Amino acid sequence: MVKVRCPVIAGEIMRYSKYFIPTYKEIPSDAEVISHQLMLRAGMIRKLTSGIYTFLPAGLKTVRKVENIVREEMNRSGAIEVLMPAVQPAELWQESGRWDFYGKELLRFKDRHNHDCCIGPTHEEVITDLVRKEIRSYRQLPVNFYQIQTKFRDEIRPRFGVMRCKEFIMKDAYSFDADEAGADKSYQIMHDAYMRIFQRCGLRFRPVEADSGSIGGSYSHEFMVLADTGEDEIISCMKCNYAANLEKAEVKAPAETETAKASWEPLQDVETPNVHTIDELTAFLSTGPNHILKTLVFVADGNPVAVLIRGDHQVNEVKLKNFLRADTIELASPGLVAELTGAPMGFAGPLGLKSKIIADHAVRGMVNFITGANKEDLHFRNVNLERDFKVNEFADLRVIMRGDRCPRCGGEINFGRGIEVGHVFKLGTKYSKAMHAVSLDDRGEEQPFFMGCYGIGIARTVAAAIEQNHDRDGIIFPISIAPFEVALLPLQMHEKNVVEISDGIYNACLADGIDILLDDRDVRPGVKFKDADLIGIPVRVTLGERTLKQGMAELKLRSEPKEVLIPLADVPGAVRAKVKELYDQIK
């Protein structure tokens, strides 16, 4: 009848009085975002310590429902479920080169034999090790292994409850192909599976292009649940289907124009005492930031490089890092800036600079601009490219901003926010080459596997659904991931006939496979209504004194304000129809 659901376990567990959903009214003071507040208040999760949570029964049920959707769609796409260990030996990470590279998010420890170990934040190394030992021939490919397993990342600032925590459940999948074309196909299959998964979770989401570092031939999409509270900024074109996260969003280079040499004015010094920032400079010189050229010194893998950018633009460090093919980049210290330019911070400029100079495309269009003069309290006016200094290379190095057009079609760009719930990534041969994971091709020659990896944050998906679906009374769960599909609220539990009628409806619904919670507590009606709303159960059936006298029950959707009256005998059928209707809406 209805689509995905947890297998319903009939019996006492569906009776509120015997179950465990500890709800409360007060807004928890340490919860910043609404999903975190509501998951605590609705009795879904409890914090053990920073970034580490226990799932209470209702929270766990929701998690299981998301897992079931994920599992079904992964199986449908041909992926095969495995379960890998949480604890991983350092050797594998040393082989892949990530032991030194991963940083403090990797929780490391030594076992009693003094072996270095870590708790897996992700499983590329483990799966690559498995596949290199088990799969020998291209005939066994493609293969895609997945698991739903607990990860640990020692996040610097865990926050927003299970949205960004340290210990979390992830679905991670890894595809192995014999060649690039195969890997592209595997990627597309996962992309499509993710579309179905998030659709079935009832979410409003969008896949966006994401940064994939500087590995050749790799690409990546993030699946973003659209929500104002999202940590990620995303842009999308209003005309074509281009969408990207902010760090990836391309900015099209302006069309080449003839250098307007005729308009070049003679270079001038300007004294700018105690003027350090762009704001101070624009105010001091009564000009716009677009007439100023910023010179920023970065250190890329230990080498200084000067980056030129228009005053009203911002350097996109991800683009810069990829362009330089660097493993690390950071802004140079004031000391290094002084050493390199001969002036304190705030007065750097490209004239006479010895380091490599790269510039954002927009710098090409600047004429008679202002730069630092590499001398304290001094700037230059009427600086011009070519005449006064040379740039080694131009590139797209800046953050897209309002007013910029779509890099694909020139359409208008929309800025929004999202929560990353899933990530698909074409890895290429990065891990297989580093770890010598090969299969034999049809000529018997060793070829590295072409890999992809694909993650979904299970509990983050639940939290994102709540960010998107709530009101002042609580959660409004999409039915496919709600802890219960239906709440049955008999209001007078001390009346024998009420208990009988509600037991009848309850049993009929259970027999229909409906995931129903019978609120059999002997508490005030207001408490039952408030809890059902807070927990976000999509369908509510109320057996109240007044309507029972007329032989009727009230049927109400959590997402709609009005209830309807249903003759008691028709309640199970009406419930079934409503549940089906809600599932059909999110097909």
Q: How far is it, in rounded angstroms, from Cα 398 to Cα 298?
A: 14
Partner whose binding site includes residue 419, from Mg ion, ligand ATP, none (CB under 5 to 8 Å by kind): none
Partner whose binding site includes residue 129, from ligand ATP, Mg ion, none (CB under 5 to 8 Å by kind): none
The smaller minimum CB distance to ligand ATP, of residues 124 and 531, is found at 124
Q: Least CB distance from residue 79 to ligand ATP, whole Å? A: 16
Q: How far is it, in rounded angstroms, from Cα 347 to Cα 374?
A: 5
98 in contact with ligand ATP (CB under 6 A): no
In whole angstroms, how large is the CA radius of gyration of the chain? 30
Q: Least CB distance from residue 144 to ligand ATP, whole Å? A: 16
By CB under 6 A, what part of segment 159-198 binds ligand ATP?
164-165, 168, 170
CB nearest ligand ATP: which residue?
A: 457
Q: How far is it, in rounded angstroms, from Cα 333 to Cα 230?
A: 32
- Stretch near ligand ATP under the rule CB under 6 A, chosen from 107-115, 179-187, 193-201, 414-422: 414-422
Q: Least CB distance from residue 124 to Mg ion, whole Å? A: 13
Which string of DSSP letters, residue by residue, matches 507-521? Answer: HHHHHTT--EEE---
Q: How far is it, in rounded angstroms, from Cα 587 to Cα 581?
A: 10
- Contact mark string toward ligand ATP, 310..349, x via CB under 6 A: ----------------------------------------
Residues binding Mg ion: what is the number (CB under 5 A)? 1
Q: Least CB distance from residue 453 to ligand ATP, whole Å? A: 8
Place of tokens 């690039």: 180
Q: Least CB distance from residue 24 to ligand ATP, whole Å? A: 24
DSSP-based helix, strand, coil % in the chain, nearest 5 = 30, 30, 40
Report yes or no: 104 and 97 within 8 Å, Cβ to Cβ.
Answer: no
The smaller minimum CB distance to Mg ion, of residues 41 and 171, is found at 171
The smaller minimum CB distance to ligand ATP, of residues 379 and 460, is found at 460
Q: How far is it, in rounded angstroms, from Cα 462 to Cα 455?
A: 15
Question: ω before 567 within 30° of 0 (cis)?
Answer: no
By CB under 5 A, what part of segment 415-434 binds Mg ion?
423
The smaller minimum CB distance to ligand ATP, of residues 234 and 421, is found at 421
Partner whose binding site includes residue 165, from Mg ion, ligand ATP, none (CB under 5 to 8 Å by kind): ligand ATP
- Strand partners for 175: 144, 452
CA-closest candidate to residue 259, choices 358, 365, 360, 359: 365
- Contact mark string toward ligand ATP, 232..271, x via CB under 6 A: ----------------------------------------
Q: How far is it, in rounded angstroms, from Cα 78 to Cα 186?
A: 10
Q: Least CB distance from residue 423 to Mg ion, whole Å? A: 4
The correct pick among 153, 248, 556, 578 for binding ligand ATP (CB under 6 A) is 153
452 in contact with ligand ATP (CB under 6 A): no
Q: Least CB distance from residue 232 to ligand ATP, whole Å? A: 7
The correct pick among 230, 350, 455, 538 for binding ligand ATP (CB under 6 A) is 455
Q: What is the CA 24 to chain-centroid distance, rounded?
A: 29
Report yes or no: 118 and 100 within 8 Å, Cβ to Cβ.
Answer: no
Report yes or no: 221 and 209 within 8 Å, Cβ to Cβ.
Answer: yes
The kind and range of the H/E element at 552 are strand 552-557
The crossing angle, in degrees rounded to 10, of helices 571-585 and 496-511 is: 50
CB nearest Mg ion: which residue?
A: 423
Residue 1 tokens, joined: 């009848």
- Stretch near ligand ATP under the rule CB under 6 A, chosen from 178-186, 365-373, 415-423, 497-505: 415-423
460 in contact with Mg ion (CB under 5 A): no
155 in contact with ligand ATP (CB under 6 A): yes
Q: Least CB distance from residue 422 to ligand ATP, whole Å? A: 5
Q: How far is it, in rounded angstroms, from Cα 155 to Cα 107?
A: 10
- Contact mark string toward Mg ion, 74..113, x via CB under 5 A: ----------------------------------------
421 in contact with ligand ATP (CB under 6 A): yes
- Stretch near ligand ATP under the rule CB under 6 A, chosen from 53-61, 68-76, 314-322, 419-427: 419-427
Q: How far is it, in rounded angstroms, from Cα 426 to Cα 180?
A: 10
Q: Least CB distance from residue 420 to Mg ion, whole Å? A: 6
The kind and range of the H/E element at 281 are helix 278-285
The smaller minimum CB distance to Mg ion, of residues 232 and 485, is found at 232
- The strand order across the sheet containing 563-567 reads 516-518, 486-490, 539-543, 552-557, 563-567
The correct pick among 182, 311, 418, 422 for binding ligand ATP (CB under 6 A) is 422
- Contact mark string toward Mg ion, 277..306, x via CB under 5 A: ------------------------------
Q: Least CB distance from residue 471 to ligand ATP, whole Å? A: 25
For Cα atoms 364, 367, 371, give the angle at the middle one, nearest 5 degrees: 90
Spell out the residues 6+ positions from residue 450 whose beta carbon is closer than 8 angstroms to its own: 176, 177, 178, 179, 180, 182, 183, 428, 429, 432
By CB under 6 A, what part of segment 107-126 binds ligand ATP?
122
Report yes or no: 128 and 93 within 8 Å, Cβ to Cβ.
Answer: no
Q: How do 243-245 and 45-49 pair as beta strands? A: unpaired
The kind and range of the H/E element at 432 are helix 430-434
Partner whose binding site includes residue 578, from Mg ion, ligand ATP, none (CB under 5 to 8 Å by kind): none
CA-closest candidate to residue 572, choices 520, 523, 511: 511
Q: Which residues bind Mg ion (CB under 5 A)?
A: 423
Q: Which residues bind ligand ATP (CB under 6 A)?
A: 122, 153, 155, 164-165, 168, 170, 420-423, 455, 457, 460
